[in-house]
Amino acid sequence: MAEKLVIIGNGMAPGRMLEHLLEASPGRYDITIFNAEPRVNYDRIMLSPVLSGEKRFEEIVIHGDGWYVANGITLYKGHRIVAIDRDAKTVSSDHGVTEPYDRLVIATGSVPFIIPVPGKDLPGVLSYRDLDDVNAMLLAAQSGQTAVVIGGGLLGLEAAAGLKEQGMEVTVLHVMPTLMERQLDPAAGYLLQRAVEARGIKVITRANTKRIVGESKVEGVELDDGTVIPATLVVMAVGIRPNVALAKEAGLAVNRGIVTDERMATSDPDILAVGECAEVSGMVYGLVAPLYQMARVAAAALGGTGDERFAHVDTPTKLKVTGIDLYSLGDFADGDDREEIVLRDASAGIYKRVVLKDGRIIGTVLFGETADGAWFADLQKKRIDISPMRDTLIFGQAYQGGASADPLAAVASLADDAEICGCNGVCKGKIVSTITARGLATLDDVRAHTKASASCGTCTGLVEKLMQLSLGDSYNPAAIQPMCGCTDLGHDEVRRLIKAKSLKTIPAVMQELEWKTSCGCSKCRPALNYYLVADWPDEYADDYQSRFVNERVHANIQKDGTYSVVPRMWGGMTSAKELRAIADVVDKFAIPAVKVTGGQRIDMLGIKKEDLPAVWADLGKAGFVSGHAYAKGLRTVKTCVGTDWCRFGTQDSTGLGIRIEKFMWGSWTPAKVKMGVSGCPRNCAEATCKDVGVICVDSGYEIHFAGAAGLDIKGTEVLGLVKTEDEALEVIVALTQMYREQARYLERIYKWAKRIGVPEIRRQALDDTARRKAYFDRFVFSQRFAQVDPWSERVSGKDKHEFQPLAALSFRQAAE
């Protein structure tokens, strides 16, 4: 019988501990988790990008609901443990749930320190520790007014940058003379302040807060010199303290944190502690790398799989603010027993300082250029005598030997045990061997199998260089290739910055991202237009002049300069009325060719451009809308007759296909999307070579995706089985929205799936029901603002209002 393991807390440390435990000792424990937050496990160090708008909460979830179900874990969300009974070996929550345990892990994290000044309890005074704090700040930022952040450390500066990105006027108050004085020397602190102020954030150092001003809500902050700074929001980010109250009440040994030995055991051998609440060897930790080491040690102790012990290792400090590069590690204080090497480049804003003792590195501070951080850290960790390279040390690894070298060669020369990912403690050798052994070809694959670059992401460049070394020319990701000659940025970086900087027009993107041309080109303008349509559906006006000609005239241009028109036939179904209307149009305009397409529609070929408005006017009177045969969007949903007529049909495939098509038509996607719904496994609608397909079976609906039947021929991947038509629709819409939000322009679903990974797509679009619903809701929201066939140019001198029969047919009307 499995032992009972109870975990109090569901943060990053216990989450990683469970990953190790489930891998090494599956089935040993019946696991229950109590989480005070009403949600699943997420990456707390990525809260700053959520605040700034660079990421959504769904993107930082580590373990979605489906993960707990798949591993048989009971998760109580929103349950705060109020008592531990060590004699009875039970824990009790504030909702009245009492659970017995054989082994207990306490992972209660930390609590923010609130300065005990008058006004600290006023509405509008927030801390910065969890998603609730971020959501409260985002809500406050909607006012677009003023914020004061008290604390110029890591969290304070990240909060300030995020609030500024959300449109607030922000002032940072810091009691010390320079920012981040615990992690940076004064010179780097000065440069950091200058970089922060260049973003429009005011910084006041030597600022001692006297009180928070206000009656019923925050109105400002008064300093001890009498200065009053107006504020509608005050964020306190002055430090954290281990959350030990529960352990102390249970009679466990507590100092600053819950006292543990090197195997993470507390004074009660059946109870372990991990994370920010734990104190091991007299030290408490707040950075993720040591917390993950605690997780690994605790998992080994619980699983009986080894005698791993926690050992202190210096952890580098990095700031998660886009565009500010800093790195610090070790001891860089002044002293008579040490020397320093300093490099300053004032024009480039670069500062480097390496502190030496007895010929060995004991501390490093880098600002503005941090690529050599891992190399300096490796030299420090191994206590290598740097005397032979002292004269060139400060120029970095590439300059050793007296000449500049290829950056790839510099990474190649790193030892196999050189740490690449500080957050997860992943060395070069593990990354390279895993790439080779598993045949990994994408960054997401490497993240999934090694955890490198999966946390804060600052080591991504190094990981990509290792992939280039390991895979050679076969590794050539579009993400690091420019979109076109107008910019040095790749699609992924452009899309991230559009969100991060709230860029909502093409001119704004080109100005803020420093486009090299005045108006862009035929490659970048359609891509930018799509990204803006997808990211700001309620604010951005679709620029049809940035679309290809087919999309502008709602017809496919042919080799002789004429056009083909394909009206939409929902699910391939039609009627005598519609057929007569098409026949009348063919006769009236002497259309020379009519063809039934592979998508079960009728294509009229050879139409003159000047006739297009009148053709569409006549078709519109009959109720037709465009079939979008030209679109980077949903084109067709091919169906078979299903249970209505076929003796083999298991479900109403025609009805589901029509429902999907009417729900999703008119939505722009990165590339064309074709779907199919087959009523039984005989697959007459060829659903297993579509972008998205459904195979109806007796037990429900088997959803497929990532097929191709063009230049590339590829069968679909099975996403999963759902029981109802409603579930099938929700999953298909969620999958499509995930693709819309993550794919690069012109990247088909099967290529996107290969890059992201089928397991990750399945996790987000199927298994994690909360995230799936969020994708679905965002698709529905975007459809409220979809401009269905808005004719935005004059065709042969005819005004766009002549196209009203088509343009006026809204998404809602068509769906009814």
The mean per-residue pLDDT over the stretch 613-621 comes to 89
Q: Percent of the chain at pLDDT above 70? A: 93
pLDDT attached to residue 260: 97
Instruction: State the CATH number of the domain containing residue 558.
Output: 3.90.480.10
Q: How many CB atoms lie within 10 A of CB 796?
A: 10
Q: Are residues 539 and 577 in the same domain?
A: no
pLDDT category of residue 787 using cuts at 50, 70 and 90: low
CA distances from 65 to 32, 344, 455, 737 (A): 14, 50, 20, 19
Range of the domain at 581: 550-621
Name residues whose C-beta falls within 8 Å of residue 116's C-beta, 6 or more positions apart in sequence. Answer: none
Element (H, E) at 16: helix 12-24
Structure confidence at residue 800 (pLDDT): 32
The CATH number for 169's domain is 3.50.50.60
Q: Which of 621, 655, 674 is the last residue of a domain?
A: 621
User: Is the separation of the CB atoms in 733 and 776 below 8 Å?
Assistant: yes
Interval 525-580: pLDDT, tens: 999 999 999 989 888 888 877 887 788 778 888 988 899 999 999 989 999 999 99
Does residue 186 lie within any of the structural domains?
Answer: yes
How far is Cα 526 from Cα 528, in angstroms, rounded to an integer? 6
Dihedrals phi, psi of 251, to nearest 5 degrees: 85, 15
Binding residues for [4Fe-4S] cluster: 640, 646, 680, 684
Same domain for 223 and 144, yes or no, is yes
**Residue 577 belongs to some domain of the structure:** yes
How many other CB atoms sit within 10 Å of the CB of residue 420? 26
Here the tokens at position 13 are 């440390």
Give the span between the Cα atoms of 628 and 634, in whole angstroms: 7
Is residue 335 situated within a structural domain?
Answer: no
What's the burial of 118, exposed, middle or buried (CB within 10 Å: 0-12/13-18/19+)?
A: exposed
Question: What's the total number of domains in the chain?
Answer: 5
User: Could you tell me if 555 and 600 lie in one domain?
Assistant: yes
Annotated binding site: 640, 646, 680, 684
Tens-place pLDDT, residues 365-391? 999 888 888 889 889 988 999 988 888
In a domain, 648, yes or no: yes
The pLDDT score that the predictor gives to residue 406 is 55
Strand partners, 344: 351
**Residue 73: count of CB within 10 angstroms of its CB:** 18
Residue 647 sits in the same domain as residue 573: no
Which amino acid, residue 534?
A
Task: Report the chain's mean pLDDT, rounded to a whole number.
Answer: 87
Torsion of CA 690, 696, 697, 698, to 10 degrees: 170
CATH code for position 643: 3.30.413.10
What distance in Å separates the CA atoms of residue 158 and residue 164, rounded to the nearest whole number?
10
Which distant-in-sequence residues (6+ apart) come within 8 Å of 613 by Cβ? 791, 795, 796, 798, 802, 803
Strand partners, 721: 702
In tens, the pLDDT along 101-135 reads: 999 999 999 999 999 999 999 999 999 989 999 99
Residue 570, SS3? helix
Q: How much of the chain exceeds pLDDT 90, in percent?
A: 52
Which residue type occupies 667? S
Per-residue pLDDT, 795: 30
Average pLDDT, integer, range 499-514: 86
Are residues 71 and 209 part of one domain? no
What beta strand segments (E) does 574-613 contain? 593-596, 602-607
Query: Is 434 among the domain residues?
Result: no
Q: Which residue has the higher pLDDT, 314 or 71?
A: 71
Residue 26 sits in the same domain as residue 161 = no
Query: Which pLDDT band holds residue 660 (cuts at 50, 70, 90)?
Result: very high
The model carries a pTM of 0.64
Span 313-352, pLDDT tens digits: 888 887 777 678 888 998 887 778 889 898 888 777 888 9
> Binding site for siroheme: residue ranges?
684
If one compares 6 and 472, the residue with the highest pLDDT of the two is: 6
**SS3 (DSSP) at 410:** helix
Tell me which of 264, 288, 303 is where a domain ends. Answer: 303
Residue 667 shares a structural domain with residue 765: yes
- DSSP string of 746-791, one letter each residue: T--HHHHHHHH-HHHHHIIIII-HHHHHHHHHHHHHHHTT---S--
Residue 183's contacts (CB-CB under 8 Å, 6 or more residues apart) are: 153, 154, 317, 328
What's the rounded Cα separation, in Å, for the pair 9 and 79? 9
Residue 574: is it exposed, middle or buried by C-beta count within 10 angstroms (0-12/13-18/19+)?
middle
Q: What average pLDDT does range 684-704 have in this prediction?
A: 94
Q: Which of 123, 49, 585 is nearest to 322 (CA)?
A: 49
Q: How far apart are CA 624 and CA 318, in angstroms?
A: 57
Average pLDDT over residues 351-358: 91
Of 70-84, 262-276, 497-511, 730-744, give the lowest mean pLDDT range: 497-511
- The amino acid at 167: G
pLDDT of residue 716: 93
Q: Which of 186, 203, 238 is the last residue of a domain?
A: 238
Burial class for 315, CB neighbours closer than 10 Å (0-12, 13-18, 19+): buried
**235-266 b/e with 16+ CB inside 10 Å = b?**
bbbbbbebbbebbeebebebeebbbbeebbbb
pLDDT confidence of 815, banded at 50, 70, 90? very low
| Cβ atoms < 10 Å from Cβ of 152 | 28
